[in-house]
Amino acid sequence: MEDEGKKNWGLGRVKQWLYAKGLEERSSGCVLCGSCYGHGPANPMEDVPGPKTKCPPYEFYRFQRFTPKSRWLMAQRVFHGLDSITPELKEVIYTCTNCLMCQELCGVRDDGYGPWDITVAMREEMTEKDGPLEAHRPLFEGIHQHDNPWSQPKSARGRWADGLSLRKLGHSSASTLLFAGCSADRPTGRAGATALAKLMQTAGEDFVVLGDAEKCCALYAYDLGFRREYERLKDENLAMIKNAGIHKVVVACGSCRRIWRQYAEELGPDIEVVHGAEYAAGLAETGRLKFRQTVRKKVTYHDSCHLGRGCGIYEAPRTILRTIPGVDVVEMARNRRWAWCCGGGGGVPEAYPELAQWNAEDRMREAKETGAEVVLTSSALCQRSFASCSADALPTQDLLEFVVQAL
Ligand code: SF4
Ligand code: SF4
């Protein structure tokens, strides 16, 4: 289906990558350096060597076709009509966990456009031509019919806030919005949303929630290539913000933060978007938040790909943890920019569960090596991944839930 609005989707975006404007000396895009998956130095343009392991599907399958570089080459061939979209090509494109490591590593572009974009662009093309993968159809239908990927009826949204005495937009107004995220009404996301509400109440923040009117931030729609659904949800979310006079959005989930970052760029300087970890770190800095409880725990923090590489937020979670008396923060070998993915993104758990499971277990193994008693995360998708780990896994807790116990 071709239309004017699609010119920058699918193969339209592949073209953007192939023929970069303003980069005459590198106009062919990928230079096949292998930095995005190889085991040598990460990137010749980097001062630091970077991680040994880079692309999760490549590390799992160990075939070149599962590298970001190969995804680019395949997209190029489809763009030029040399290959068609086959089930095999779909497998290669949809095994990307959307960890953004290749985006972080690839230094060939200086306009913010990287190899991960080409994967998403190919997903858009595939969805537009053939619809979603069968394994992703429930996610697609959930978004299309219920405005959330988990097919929760709209009437069941917002139940996470039951009993918390929060004010709902429509009945009340405020310039600050707590955006809970679709996982807030599921076991893996509820704790983060309720903890954020408690933090905001403790700080005396004047804020509202959306309750059953909250729609998905659109992360799944964007990352799985459901571009029409993404555009719809984006328009509806942006209209809600403008009509309600919201100037600050505080999100409970690191994955929502990545999409809200994109929205903030469109909304301009009048809107501020922060994750609960940034919010809490800001409160602690200004003295509005005091931790009275000592929490004698050794913890390790897992950087979610979307809050970390997706938004560049690495220090706020660590800052807030160090403010809590008694907490000992120990780092995993791969942390911050080089943090290893949990395998929970990109629709991989739904379509390639063995890859997602391996990824989560590998990250959990690394967490255990630190000697920590608990793994803290800042995204509901990471919580879900770690919840699937084997019985001897460390307990996992949402960062904000952990923080709130020290108030
Ligand atoms: S995508 Fe980037 S990092 Fe990967 S091979 Fe191409 S130029 Fe190198
Ligand atoms: S985003 Fe991550 S999983 Fe996807 S191609 Fe890049 S490095 Fe591989």
pLDDT tens for each residue of 187-234: 888 999 999 999 999 999 999 999 999 999 999 999 999 999 999 999
213-236: string of b/e by CB count within 10 Å (b at 16+)? ebbbbbbbbbbbbbbbbbbbbbee
Q: pLDDT at residue 17 above 70?
A: no
- Please identify, among 258, 283, 308, the residue that sits at the C-terminal boundary of a domain: 283
Kindly state whether residues 148 and 279 are assigned to the same domain: yes
Kindly state whether residues 123 and 168 are assigned to the same domain: no
For ligand 2, is residue 57 a contact (CB within 6 Å)? yes
Distance 57 CA to ligand 2 centre (A): 7
Ligand 2: residue whose CA is nearest its atom 5: 68
Ligand 1: residue whose CA is nearest its atom 8: 33
| Rounded Cα–Cα distance for residues 96 and 338 (Å) | 17
Q: What is the pLDDT confidence band of residue 44, given thresholds at 50, 70 and 90? A: low
Strand blocks (E) in 59-184: 176-179
Kindly state whether residues 186 and 255 are assigned to the same domain: yes
Ligand nearest to the CA of 101: 2
User: Quick one: pLDDT at residue 19?
Assistant: 56
Find the mean pLDDT for residues 83-97: 97
Q: How much of the chain, in percent, has pLDDT values that exceed 70?
A: 92
- Please identify, among 283, 298, 330, the residue that sits at the C-terminal boundary of a domain: 283
Instruction: For strands 396-398 and 248-251, give the pairing.
Output: unpaired
Q: What is the pLDDT confidence band of residue 23, given thresholds at 50, 70 and 90? A: very low
Which residue carries 């399958």 as its tokens? Answer: 61
The minimum-distance atom of ligand 1 relative to the CA of 34 is: 5
Q: pLDDT at residue 1 above 70?
A: no
246-282: string of b/e by CB count within 10 Å (b at 16+)? bebbbbbbbbbbbbbbbbbeebeeebebbbbbbbbbb
Q: What is the pLDDT confidence band of residue 5, given thresholds at 50, 70 and 90? A: low
Q: What is the pLDDT confidence band of residue 46, given thresholds at 50, 70 and 90? A: low
User: Quick one: pLDDT at residue 34?
Assistant: 87
- Please identify, among 65, 97, 131, the residue that sits at the C-terminal boundary of a domain: 131
pLDDT digits (tens, 9 = 90+) for 64-79: 999 999 998 899 889 8
Amino acid in position 368: K
For ligand 2, is residue 56 a contact (CB within 6 Å)? yes
Kindly state whether residues 109 and 36 are assigned to the same domain: yes
Q: pLDDT at residue 93 above 70?
A: yes
pLDDT digits (tens, 9 = 90+) for 314-373: 999 999 999 999 999 999 999 999 999 999 999 999 999 999 999 999 999 999 999 999
Strand blocks (E) in 126-259: 176-179, 207-209, 248-251
| Rounded Cα–Cα distance for residues 257 and 377 (Å) | 14
The residue range of the domain holding 399 is 290-404
User: Quick one: pLDDT at residue 288?
Assistant: 87
For ligand 2, is residue 116 a contact (CB within 6 Å)? yes
Ligand nearest to the CA of 43: 1
Copy the structure tokens of residue 372. Answer: 């920590």
User: Quick one: pLDDT at residue 25?
Assistant: 46
Pocket test for ligand 1, best of 72, 111, 120, 122 (most atoms within 8 A of CB): 72
User: Quick one: pLDDT at residue 51?
Assistant: 83
| Rounded Cα–Cα distance for residues 322 and 314 (Å) | 13
Residues having CB within 6 Å of any atom of ligand 1:
30-36, 68-69, 72, 105-106, 108, 115
The CA-to-CA distance between both ends of the chain, in Å, stands at 54
Maximum average pLDDT range among 10-19, 44-53, 278-287? 278-287
How confident is the prediction for the chain on average, in pLDDT? 91
pLDDT digits (tens, 9 = 90+) for 120-172: 999 999 999 999 999 999 999 999 999 999 999 999 999 999 999 999 999 98
Q: Counting beta carbons within 10 angstroms of the beta carbon of residue 127, is it exposed (0 to 12), middle (13 to 18) or buried (19 or more)?
A: buried
Q: What are phi and psi of 301, to 5 degrees?
A: -105, 125
Kindly state whether residues 310 and 268 are assigned to the same domain: no
| Rounded Cα–Cα distance for residues 320 and 309 (Å) | 19
pLDDT digits (tens, 9 = 90+) for 360-372: 999 999 999 999 9
Kindly state whether residues 112 and 173 are assigned to the same domain: no
Distance 375 CA to ligand 1 centre (A): 32
Kindly state whether residues 119 and 79 are assigned to the same domain: yes
Nearest to 177, CA basis, from 260, 265, 269: 260
User: Quick one: pLDDT at residue 6?
Assistant: 61
Kindly state whether residues 340 and 310 are assigned to the same domain: yes
**How many domains would you assign to the chain?**
3
pLDDT digits (tens, 9 = 90+) for 262-281: 999 998 888 999 999 999 99
Q: Is the Cβ–Cβ distance between 31 and 43 less than 8 Å?
A: no
Kindly state whether residues 195 and 249 are assigned to the same domain: yes
CATH number of residue 235's parent domain: 3.40.50
Kindly state whether residues 309 and 271 are assigned to the same domain: no
Which residue carries 């970890």 as its tokens? Answer: 277
Find the mean pLDDT for residues 241-247: 95
pTM, two decimal places: 0.93
Kindly state whether residues 341 and 397 are assigned to the same domain: yes
Amino acid in position 239: A
H-helix or E-strand spanning residue 93 = helix 87-94
Q: What are phi and psi of 359, to 5 degrees?
A: -65, -45
Distance 299 CA to ligand 2 centre (A): 27
